[in-house]
Amino acid sequence: MTRNIVVEEFKQAPLEDQKLEIVERKGIGHPDSICDAVLDSVSVELSKEYLRRFGVILHHNADKSLLVAGEVETRFGGGEVKQPMLLIFGDRATVELEGTQVPVKEIAINAAKKWIKENLRFVDPDEHIRYQVELKPGSAALTDIFKRGGQILSANDTSAAVGYAPMTPTEQLVLKTERFLNSKKFKKEFPMVGEDVKVMGFRKNHDITLTVGAAFVDRFVEGEEDYFKRKEEILEQLRSFVGENGNFKRVELKLNTLDMKGRGVDGVYLTVLGTSADGADSGQVGRGNRPNGVIPLNRHVGSEAAAGKNPVSHVGKIYNILTHKIANEIHSKVPDLREVYVWLVSQIGKPIDQPAIAAARVITKQGVKLDSVRDEIRKIVDNELERIGEFCEDLAKGKYPVC
């Protein structure tokens, strides 16, 4: 099999050397991240059930979702939930095959409840969220892809994805900062910081500004004075963490910048459940992080959301994650490269291991000619596509995060 693989030089300065860089990270409790993670869990659980019942993964795409914000009354010392959140599951799933029914609605809701229990400390999945499952049977044309059989299925869409490597120091710091604030160790010391943490990083030359939004849980805050005291303690922890994990000339840290002293509950960032979805912001699949965990505004990115799509034919998921994997493989195995971008373009109906084009654009180190590494790069791309069946199996098991 001869694949259409193109390798070319990318004639621009690596992002790390450019003057301006903007990176965002939405934490695990952000409404958009909740949608991404929950709907991908639904896909994983559906895949397991299809394999258990039929020995193959059947057509499904649980990649449309809306988390409708609830209504709460925040109070120092602990508020109350007045209206629960509503989680809507959307798109398609196989509900029956040859007379055997699949309990899609129950699988979706149970997957959501399991994820919520494991990741959101103060959200009771039975009390604080209502569920609306709108997963309907798929169209004849798309479900037929799964009936044709074969180890490698055909792409169910004409689409494109792009991934890159390595992550810049700014991207790494933004990602690490959110994970630090949502780590078990940090939560033990500062339980008032909810899971809804967002980090925006802006680098200008060697100076960086990190603006952090962290939802405080009102039951752990005695009053306005206590809130601002805790806020300063958290900033001190952040300064220490960033100093140990970054190498920037100047760092400016900001936390909950909408706060205003003297306005009581209205002047601080409080939630009842640790996520702004409890009473402020709704969420949606596809508005959050790229598969490598950040929203890189200076990078090339695709338009597809990876979360919830089936792992064996939907290139919106497969290629979205695989392009990052291939880019990292190239960067780690070819020592003379500064930066790598990989594009995969599918054609509906063609096997997913035979993209219409696979393109790698690389920035080489000074003095290195592309011809000296072109064949090695092409071979890596070809090998990864050759092993796409194994990769899809890992996707089906949830081994690759989508946000």
- The enclosing domain of 219 has a CATH number of 3.30.300.340
Give domain status of residue 101, yes or no: no
- Mode of pairing for the β-strands spanning 160-165 and 357-364: unpaired
Tokens of residue 65, six digits: 């979702």
pLDDT at residue 223 in the model: 97
Q: Quick check: is 294 in a domain?
A: no
- Residue 142: what pLDDT? 67
**HSE-CB of 119 using CA atoms within 13 angstroms:** 21
Cβ distance 352 to 390 under 8 Å?
no
| Predicted pLDDT at 346 | 95
Low-confidence ranges of the chain (pLDDT < 50): none
What is the Cβ-side half-sphere exposure of residue 191, based on CA atoms within 13 angstroms? 8
The pLDDT value recorded for residue 98 is: 87
Q: Tell me, what's the pLDDT at 324?
A: 98
Q: Report d(CA 75, CA 223) in Å as an integer.
A: 9
Q: Please state the length of the chain.
A: 403
Flag whether 257 is in a domain.
yes
Scanning the structure block, which residue is given the tokens 């910048």?
A: 257
- The pLDDT score that the predictor gives to residue 3 is 96
235: in domain = yes
Residue 199 three-state SS: strand
CA–CA distance, 286 with 64 (Å, rounded to integer): 8
Look at residue 76 and tell me if it is in a domain: no
Q: Look at residue 325 and tell me if it is in a domain.
A: no
Number of structural domains in the chain: 1
- The per-residue pLDDT for 141 is 61
290 within domain boundaries: no
DSSP annotation string for 78-126 = --EEEE-EEEEEEEEE--EETTEE--HHHHHHHHHHHHHHHH-TT--TT
Residue type, 284: Q
Instruction: Tell me, yes or no, whether 311 lies in a domain.
Output: no
- Its domain, for residue 273, covers 170-284
